[in-house]
Structure 1
């Protein structure tokens, strides 16, 4: 019983540190944030305690990205994803992407990433390693599989995978991060149906 309590306590403490890191990164940025700032935001814990759960600030950042990106759950269930028909597969993927920005904390975090990425390329590299590479790999593999099955026509799957993800990123930026007035009224369903229709109509094999 004591081991269970200890394990639960570790999980809760780790989550507390992640939530504090999100708050600090979102206000100060990654490079200005210190472990002392994060420890204080986590309820005044010892800064050294953070190293019990994370190797360094980069590991903390990478863990935060992974836990906030619900879309990675699809990559963890790639076999199930590969078996879905194209419209359902891309609907699930798009839905998972859009859901990231339903959390205001994620929006603030993403804005900080955008503002710092050009000055600190390493941040972009960490995000790509933690999220981008897995998602592009998932979509690329799915497209290749559907081409092999004869469902989709042959095409450059690497370019297509980036194009699909990019269409959602543009919509998320406009509506949720940049708050463009003309994008504010768009619902997730409008974005999903339009993007998926545009994407699939360009790849579906013409009916004989």
Structure 2
């Protein structure tokens, strides 16, 4: 039996019950913030007893980390799937960039990021949990794609991890700061496409083999 199928108490985990708890936790964390959320409130929102909640999660910090990991895994699956394709690197990067920006601008990921940023100065462990489950994992998957294309002779990058960070930064130019500051709520597909196309152009000029 894998560790994922066992609770911290050592008993077998019910995936449906765990998902039910995480869905309740999401509603409470987004409404109340980390500090304002209590295990009692989360248990009530999830429709489980407080005892059941503690069977699955030892404390609020563990529950928050699991909530972040679950959200990142479920919401980014489609974004990163395109990196497994066999099209030329510039085409894959273009499609990936569009999916990535649409994801970053959408309401729920934006709300989670603002929650973490708002709470991480007081609770730095929340920032670390979010970084490890989200940005770090995402950069790692893009780095793996770049390494495959370097091995295939398409790209020439001395530091693939830095290259991955640079490409994501190019894609977020103009839009993400405005989104975080609530200057904009979203962007048109045309604007997203324009920014991503320019990002791919710059990236390929720098790193095309």
Using the size of structure 2 for normalisation, the TM-score is: 0.73
Q: 1:29 aligns with which of 29, 33, 36?
A: 33
Say yes or no: does 1:39 pair with 2:43: yes
Q: How far apart in 2 are the matches of 1:118 and 1:169?
A: 24
The change in CA–CA distance for 1:106 and 1:140 in structure 2 (over 3 A counts) is closer
Q: How far apart in 2 are the matches of 1:152 and 1:66?
A: 31
The change in CA–CA distance for 1:82 and 1:186 in structure 2 (over 3 A counts) is closer
User: How many residue pairs get matched?
Assistant: 192
Q: 1:140 aligns with which of 125, 138, 143?
A: 143
Unpaired runs of at least 5, structure 1: 1-9
Q: 1:18 maps to what in 2?
A: 22
Deviation at 1:58, TM superposition (A): 3.0
Say yes or no: does 1:193 pair with 2:194: no
Using the size of structure 1 for normalisation, the TM-score is: 0.73
RMSD: 3.0
The change in CA–CA distance for 1:144 and 1:152 in structure 2 (over 3 A counts) is same
Q: Secondary structure at the match of 1:30?
A: helix
Deviation at 1:18, TM superposition (A): 1.8
Q: 1:87 maps to what in 2?
A: 90
More deviation in 154-163 or 102-111? 102-111
The change in CA–CA distance for 1:155 and 1:114 in structure 2 (over 3 A counts) is same
Unpaired runs of at least 5, structure 2: 1-13
Q: How far apart in 2 are the matches of 1:128 and 1:201?
A: 29
